[in-house]
Structure 1
């Protein structure tokens, strides 16, 4: 396990705007490239970003397509428009870890977070189907660094937040 320092935090419900897509991991740009559009829309609606943009993984299927949302937390919920939807991230306890480095390393950080939680006796808000697809109650990958300010992805700070079972 790499040097990570996970913590368990309690989150209340958090409103957000999002665009959802079914994507393969090798085609993640299909959803990732829409974050800028979504942020611009949120600002244009006067909803005000209330935090870092993120990806919410509703399902994870490393061999197939995953159901993923590009999201932005908002101060207030605007009216949905086109393929932009609004929702609320669920309240609950989340195992979280921050990481600085290239996003390509997030798979390893996620594996380390999962191993840490297992060692702590924590269970995820997740169900695995017979074919290995994981369906998550809430699994978030937040991008805390603005790439316009820091263009080097090796210097980006990210946070993983996986909801724990009640």
Structure 2
């Protein structure tokens, strides 16, 4: 069941890419690289790695997505990796257990629930492209510990206006 949770600002190290629905690996695979860089610097991870959707143009099959890894305190960026902050605020959240390919149904459920509650997203639409203030998929399961994606846990966190 969806919930509304108030989150503080959260620091992270991220990478950004413009992708299509078939090239998600170009950004999702960066999570391991970011985790490795942080480990090399001795910086502990402060939460689940995530994908942050900046813009979504489904008819044009064009998405701008960040891969991010939370850290407790700011860490300097290097190369195309950058330091940033997830904005504080109220987020509609939903947990999903199962294969990431099944996330579309969970997302639809969260969007439908928010509509029924008359909630407004931190999102604007321009020429068919959604621009999100903060739309997250947090990956709570370490695939090195649980290799079966059918047993993975993912949290959706979409910021409310």
Give the TM-score, by structure 1 length.
0.94
Structure-2 residue corresponding to 1:158: 154
**Cα distance between partner residues in 2 of 1:46 and 1:65:** 35
Check if 1:67 corresponds to 2:64: yes
Contact kept? 1:54, 1:72, Cα under 8 Å = yes
**Cα distance between partner residues in 2 of 1:31 and 1:154:** 21
Check if 1:9 corresponds to 2:37: no
Match of 2:22, SS state, is helix
**Cα distance between partner residues in 2 of 1:88 and 1:154:** 30
Structure-1 residue corresponding to 2:18: 22
Contact kept? 1:54, 1:70, Cα under 8 Å = yes
Unaligned runs of 5+ in 1: none
CA drift at 1:46: 2.6
Task: Decide which of 113, 116, 121 is 1:116's aligned counterpart.
Answer: 113
Contact kept? 1:22, 1:66, Cα under 8 Å = yes
Task: Decide which of 116, 126, 131 is 1:129's aligned counterpart.
Answer: 126
Contact kept? 1:58, 1:136, Cα under 8 Å = yes
Structure-1 residue corresponding to 2:79: 82
Unaligned runs of 5+ in 2: none
Contact kept? 1:95, 1:163, Cα under 8 Å = yes
**Cα distance between partner residues in 1 of 2:132 and 2:43:** 27
Task: Decide which of 35, 39, 43 is 1:39's aligned counterpart.
Answer: 35
Give the TM-score, by structure 2 length.
0.97
- List 4+ stretches of structure 1 deviating above 3 A: none
Task: Decide which of 93, 96, 101 is 1:96's aligned counterpart.
Answer: 93
**Cα distance between partner residues in 2 of 1:44 and 1:105:** 34
**Cα distance between partner residues in 2 of 1:127 and 1:163:** 12
